[in-house]
Amino acid sequence: MDFSKSAALLERARQVIPGGVNSPVRAFRSVGGTPPFIVRGEGCRMYDVDGNEFIDYVGSWGPLILGHRPPMVLDALREILEVGTSFGAPTEREIDLAEAIRDAFPSMEMVRLVNSGTEAAMSALRVARGFTGRNLTIKFEGCYHGHVDSLLVKAGSGLATLGIADSAGVPEAFAATTISLPYNNLAAVEQAFVERGGDIACIMVEPVAGNMGCVPPAPKFLEGLRAICTKYRALLIFDEVMTGFRVAFGGAQGRFGVKPDMTALGKIVGGGLPIAAYGGKREVMTHVAPTGPIYQAGTLSGNPMAVAAGLAMLRYLKSHPEVYEQIELRTQELCATPPAGVTVNRVGSMFTFFFTEQPITDYDSARTSNTQRFAQFFHWMLTGGIYLAPSQFEAGFMSAAHTPEDVAKTVERAKAFPG
């Protein structure tokens, strides 16, 4: 494939944008090569400036569950363009979207719309601290909750080590409010609460991890977190920015039957446009301004274009539950015959090919993957017209626009990998 036009655009972008990209993973630093600059998407396909065509398994990192440019979303956007793109004032559609989210996620008795997954996670964390009057947070190594200062930490050598900043610019005092523990290790959580339970405001967790690759929760892990939080009167926060409306219509909490106190949502609730939401129990959310002392605001929150697109997407998914059965079946077919020496993790329509033979249950086991071999596989697939996430430690996503023929082509290309 020719990527010369993309290469020229990348060089131009580097002069005005750090690394030439507006989000680090797009730079292809972990796999090498030139990222294709996309000009158009249609169905399950993307097209770049060099005229290359790709079957897309990134789907804007999860929200495009119906593929690119689904008709109902385009119709909703056309309708909004006739009335206005931003008001900074209340609209009825905001209520409609909040009600649609609440109906799908009964644990979210009250909902606040925001603009990004980072903002949703950051706000939920602030509310948990304000509501409980405590300062410490438990997160899990390998789980990403946006670029919130206090959550950009990694685990130390102990089971309950206070975090060390993973990014320059994060004050040590911020990182020290976070306890980072191994994912799927309930004993470590219990130990942390025995030692610091009176100081811990919340546990924040991806109920299905997606930012160290797709890693499902171990049996009883989520249930155990629920029980511990109830015992110590801490809040359990599910970060469903990736899993919400993706692994099931009611998200991971619906799929696994575990009810958190608060939830952060993103991606899919905007139908492909930038929007997110957080919410939870009424007794918790009434502490948010203007009804309570915990301040959170956003000028563009509830943007009418994103709200309209999200409503169109969620209403379609609710009225077409067969979408979930279809995409899960096709993801199962995609993952059935991986290359030799590869472990596949899958939950619903999320998946990752880990280039290691050992089971992947946490960040340490994920890091046993052969990232060099993954990079070779990534470029083998890319030059064969298959677009995967450009990192070993990211999830892939199926859409309803992928056909059996698309999946078969992808499987054949993967089976032919010579690496």
Per-domain residue ranges of the chain: 4-57+321-415, 71-319
Terminal CA-CA length for the chain: 19
Catalytic site includes residue 239: yes
Catalytic residue among 144, 278, 316, 324: 144
> Burial, 274: exposed, middle or buried (Cβ in 10 Å; 0-12, 13-18, 19+)?
middle
Confidence band of 36 (pLDDT split at 50, 70, 90): very high
Q: Which amino acid is at 4?
A: S
Catalytic residue among 56, 183, 261, 267: 267
Evaluate if residue 214 carries a pLDDT over 60.
yes
Least confident span in 66-75, 162-171, 372-381: 162-171
Going by C-alpha positions, the residue among 59, 61, 44 that lies closest to residue 242 is 61
Q: What is the pLDDT of residue 158?
A: 35
More confident residue, 157 or 34: 34
Q: Could you tell me which CATH class the domain 4-57+321-415 is placed in? A: alpha beta
**What secondary structure letter does DSSP report for 288?**
B
Least confident span in 1-10, 21-30, 106-115, 309-318: 21-30
Evaluate if residue 157 carries a pLDDT over 60.
no
How high is the mean pLDDT of the chain? 94
Catalytic residue among 48, 50, 239, 261: 239
CATH 3.40.640.10, domain 71-319, yes or no: yes
Least confident span in 142-146, 194-198, 246-250, 329-333: 142-146
Evaluate if residue 161 carries a pLDDT over 50.
no
In contact, 25 and 394? CB cutoff 8 Å: yes
In contact, 131 and 235? CB cutoff 8 Å: yes
- Per the confidence metrics, is the pTM higher than 0.85? yes
In contact, 47 and 39? CB cutoff 8 Å: yes
Q: What is the pLDDT of residue 159?
A: 34
Q: What is the pLDDT of residue 156?
A: 28
Catalytic site includes residue 103: no
Return the percentage of the chain with pLDDT > 90, whole number.
91
In contact, 309 and 76? CB cutoff 8 Å: yes
Catalytic site includes residue 324: no
Q: CB pairs under 8 A, 24+ apart, for 188-194?
A: 188/159, 188/160, 189/138, 189/224, 189/225, 189/228, 190/224, 190/228, 191/159, 191/160, 192/138, 192/159, 192/160, 193/228, 193/231, 193/232, 193/234
Q: Stretch 305-330: mean pLDDT, rounded?
A: 98
Measured between alpha carbons, how far is 157 from 181 in angstroms, rounded to an integer? 10
Measured between alpha carbons, how far is 378 from 391 in angstroms, rounded to an integer? 8
Q: What is the pLDDT of residue 166?
A: 67
Confidence band of 154 (pLDDT split at 50, 70, 90): low
Using DSSP, state whether 4 is helix, strand or coil. helix
Measured between alpha carbons, how far is 404 from 207 in angstroms, rounded to an integer? 29
Measured between alpha carbons, how far is 24 from 6 in angstroms, rounded to an integer? 17
pLDDT digits (tens, 9 = 90+) for 46-93: 999 999 999 999 999 999 999 999 999 999 999 999 999 999 999 999
Q: What is the pLDDT of residue 149?
A: 79
